[in-house]
A = this chain, B = another copy of it.
Amino acid sequence: MPALTFQLAAKDPGSKARAGTIQTDHGTIETPIFMPVGTVGSVKAVTQQQLYQDIQAQIILGNTYHLYLRPGTEVLEAAGGLHCFNGWHKPILTDSGGYQVFSLAANRKIKEEGVWFQSHIDGSKHLFSPEKVIDIERSIGADIIMAFDECPPANSEYQYVAKSMDLTHRWLDRCFTQMDATPDKYGYTQNLFPIVQGGTFTDLRTASAAYIASKGAVGNAIGGLSVGEPEAQLYEFTELCCDILPADKPRYLMGVGTPWNILEGIALGVDMFDCVMPTRNGRNGMLFTTKGVINIRNKKWATDFSVIDDGLSNEISTYYTKAYLRHLFIANEILALQLASIQNLSFYLWLVREARKQIINGTFASWKNEMTAICKQRL
């Protein structure tokens, strides 16, 4: 089967935004796209039916670290991969586990060979090496496999970031070697995306982006941002990377972000985004809507019988009222988590679909400014 391809459909005249189409063996992804995070094979509190129908997701993420620990590659292989296991038959992207190893696991030891760590679940010891991670991602059955990298914290010093970047580059070469040495696991093409690192240092970012670009991958990612740095730096280094990464391949800005972060990222030339924000904040009662941000636990919504978001077209957002959803949160009902997650993900997917339309219309830049103001508004 052919590797992932990317076709540019339109470029916005007023920004670096582009609209495109990614073709994978599990179907087409229209970009710019937001990818809901399905950590252990489930986008939290949402059924796959709701992902297809209400949210209109086109691709979801799986977390290699989590899936490796539970259910484990043995079960996933027996199932025929994650698509068969969880019933999501559109594209799946897996991160490399690098980020989770550094944020969740205990007793990490970074060595040239890889990272030794202890499971946050049972304390068992494991090694993630570039080769091992590629094998795991192949077993999961990802359509898009992220390279194994180290993601240094936002406040890291230059020397640390420089050394870490070099290690990430050496690991990347080993990832490509392992990809070449191993077959696609389940009959469809699995595609490796390398990741730019280099922290918030211009020379390192530039060097890393150039190195990543030189690999000729079918798609490229920008990592190590949105880890605590100021918003201005997020945008500055996103732009720097986008300008170096090839224009004819999709660009993925990892772990970003707020609705306005995504709009700005699109304007800078990013095609793919993922973030736990819509689901995590949703579970805490923060709603993203086409009119602005809502804290649904607020007393002011107690008797507001307007629907959750009349700017969306999905069934959940246009069926239940703000007053009902507030009540569900106050009464600690599980349904609250479901409805809020569906609302927020539906909004994020609506936002990128709208952005795509505006890019194709050539009206993205002005729409983006209006939409950013709306998105930031607190209702």
Flag whether A331 is at the interface (Cβ < 8 A).
yes
CA distance A164 to B47 in the complex (A): 47
Most chain B Cβ neighbours within 10 Å, of A70, A84, A324, A339: A324
Give which listed residue, B47, B84, B320, B330, contacts A335 with CB less than 8 A.
Answer: B47
What are the nearest 3 A-B pairs in CB distance? A45-B334, A71-B327, A42-B335
Assess whether A335 is in contact with B44, with CB atoms less than 8 Å apart. Answer: yes
13 more contacts with CB within 8 A, not counting A44-B334, A78-B305, are A45-B335, A49-B319, A66-B331, A70-B327, A71-B302, A71-B331, A78-B303, A79-B323, A79-B324, A85-B323, A87-B321, A334-B338, A338-B338
Q: Which residues of B contact A84 (CB under 8 A)?
A: 305
Contact status of A47 and B324, CB under 8 A, knowing A302-B75, A333-B42 = no
Most chain B Cβ neighbours within 10 Å, of A66, A335, A337: A335
Assess whether A70 is in contact with B330, with CB atoms less than 8 Å apart. Answer: yes
Flag whether A315 is at the interface (Cβ < 8 A).
yes
The contact string, 1 if C-beta is below 8 Å from chain B, for chain A 36-72, is: 0000111011111100000000000000001000110
12 pairs of residues in contact across A and B, judged by CB atoms under 8 Å: A45-B334, A49-B315, A71-B330, A75-B302, A75-B323, A79-B321, A79-B323, A84-B305, A85-B321, A85-B324, A334-B334, A338-B338
Q: Would you list which residues of chain A between 264 and 316 have a CB under 8 Å from chain B?
A: 302-303, 305, 315-316
Q: Which residues of B contact A79 (CB under 8 A)?
A: 303, 305, 321, 323-324
Give which listed residue, B40, B46, B324, B337, contacts A41 with CB less than 8 A.
Answer: B324
The contact string, 1 if C-beta is below 8 Å from chain B, for chain A 174-191, is: 000000000000000000
Contacts from A to B (Cβ < 8 Å): 40-42, 44-49, 66, 70-71, 75, 78-79, 84-87, 302-303, 305, 315-316, 319-321, 323-324, 327-328, 330-331, 333-335, 337-339
Give which listed residue, B44, B321, B335, contacts A333 with CB less than 8 A.
Answer: B44
With both chains docked as a complex, state the minimum distance between the C-beta of A44 and any C-beta of chain B, in angstroms.
6
CA distance A339 to B335 in the complex (A): 13
With both chains docked as a complex, state the minimum distance between the C-beta of A45 and any C-beta of chain B, in angstroms.
4
Assess whether B339 is in contact with A337, with CB atoms less than 8 Å apart. Answer: no
Q: Which residues of B contact A338 (CB under 8 A)?
A: 45, 47, 334, 338
With both chains docked as a complex, state the minimum distance between the C-beta of A144 and any C-beta of chain B, in angstroms.
22
With both chains docked as a complex, state the minimum distance between the C-beta of A83 and any C-beta of chain B, in angstroms.
11
Closest to A319 in B: B87
Q: Which residues of B contact A47 (CB under 8 A)?
A: 316, 335, 338-339
Most chain B Cβ neighbours within 10 Å, of A40, A46, A315, A330: A40
Q: Which residues of B contact A333 (CB under 8 A)?
A: 40, 42, 44
Give which listed residue, B42, B66, B302, B315, contacts A328 with CB less than 8 A.
Answer: B42
CA distance A20 to B331 in the complex (A): 36
With both chains docked as a complex, state the minimum distance between the C-beta of A190 and any C-beta of chain B, in angstroms.
21
With both chains docked as a complex, state the minimum distance between the C-beta of A186 and any C-beta of chain B, in angstroms.
14
Q: Which residues of B contact A48 (CB under 8 A)?
A: 319
With both chains docked as a complex, state the minimum distance between the C-beta of A84 and any C-beta of chain B, in angstroms.
8
Q: Which residues of B contact A49 (CB under 8 A)?
A: 315-316, 319
CA distance A49 to B54 in the complex (A): 12
CA distance A248 to B320 in the complex (A): 38
Assess whether B45 is in contact with A303, with CB atoms less than 8 Å apart. Answer: no
Q: Which residues of B contact A78 (CB under 8 A)?
A: 303, 305
With both chains docked as a complex, state the minimum distance between the C-beta of A334 and any C-beta of chain B, in angstroms.
4
Assess whether B70 is in contact with A331, with CB atoms less than 8 Å apart. Answer: yes
Closest to A315 in B: B49
Give which listed residue, B87, B330, B337, contacts A324 with CB less than 8 A.
Answer: B87
